[in-house]
């Protein structure tokens, strides 16, 4: 796997955002947009997925966190691939903790396939994280929840989706949010009217506000 794109904190680092890109993208795809909205004390890590064949795209090789067989909510999933990718994310979290950033000051985020990985990785991590930013995505291996959940039910989740998304259906995001709300206490699902499978200035403003808020909570001793 190629080295992640890292945007260092501009003040003393006390928090980290690890953000996973969507299918076929790289860490460079999100680093600038995230650098523009993160607080000065937050380091941003944008890893690039390994290049591998993707069944959904006729076996074509591209950066992908795990194999995608279909984008149907009840379709088959690449469970070993999802779990291997999750282990990789947990390793990145552990590296930050070893460098002195506590788990409750680490945010996981991602877009599309990367957002799916962020959700799964956060829920199956055994220490409370600061929060999750899940954009235009879904909860993978959803039938395993809430049983597979190892994290605190208090971890804040900000899920966002455009209602004109032709790639990951809006309904898929809604269903994932409904399931998450059944076993997590702090889930926000925000709809962006007319937005397709992409981000927008409004959405990025909301992500900025969410990160600012959860950072205040973690300083106040929330999520300890």
All residues at 6 or more sequence positions from 123 whose CB lies less than 8 Å from its CB, including other chains: 139, 145, 148, 149, 150, 151, 155, 184
In Å, how far are 135, 150, 157, 173 from 183, measured between CA atoms? 20, 12, 12, 16
Question: Which of the residues 64, 112, 121, 176 is marked catalytic?
Answer: 112
Active site residue 2: no
Q: At what angle do helices 113-123 and 79-98 cross, to 10 degrees?
A: 70
What is the distance between the alpha carbons of residues 70 and 95, in angstroms, rounded to a whole number?
A: 33
Active site residue 21: no
Q: Which of 196, 128, 182, 130 is nearest to 158 (CA)?
A: 130
Give the pairing type, strands 42-46 and 60-63. Answer: unpaired
Active site residue 78: no
Sheet holding 131-135, edge to edge: 5-7, 42-46, 15-20, 106-111, 131-135, 157-162, 187-192
Q: What secondary structure letter does DSSP report for 50?
A: P
Question: Which of the residues 165, 176, 206, 218 is marked catalytic?
Answer: 165
Question: Which of the residues 121, 176, 197, 218 is marked catalytic?
Answer: 197
Query: Which amino acids are annotated catalytic?
Result: 112, 165, 197
């Amino acid at each position: 796997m190629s080295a992640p794109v890292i945007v260092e904190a501009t003040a003393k680092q006390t928090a980290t955002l690890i953000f996973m890109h969507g299918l076929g993208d790289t860490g460079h795809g999100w680093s600038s947009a995230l650098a523009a909205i993160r607080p000065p004390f937050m380091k941003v890590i944008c890893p690039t997925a390994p290049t591998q064949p993707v069944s959904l795209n006729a076996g074509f090789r591209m950066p992908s966190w795990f194999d995608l067989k279909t984008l149907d909510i009840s379709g088959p999933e690449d469970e070993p691939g999802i779990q291997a990718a999750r282990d990789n994310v947990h390793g990145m979290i552990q590296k930050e903790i070893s460098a002195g950033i506590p788990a409750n000051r680490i945010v996981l985020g991602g877009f599309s396939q990367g957002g799916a990985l962020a959700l799964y990785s956060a829920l199956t991590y055994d220490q409370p994280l600061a929060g999750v930013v899940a954009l235009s995505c879904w909860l993978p291996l959803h039938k395993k929840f809430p049983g597979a959940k190892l994290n605190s039910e208090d971890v804040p989740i900000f899920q966002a989706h455009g209602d004109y998304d032709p790639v990951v259906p809006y309904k898929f995001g809604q269903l994932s949010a409904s399931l998450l709300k059944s076993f997590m206490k702090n889930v926000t699902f925000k709809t962006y009217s007319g937005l397709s499978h992409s981000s927008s200035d409004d959405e990025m403003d909301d992500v900025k506000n969410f990160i600012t808020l959860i950072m205040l909570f973690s300083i106040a001793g929330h999520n300890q």
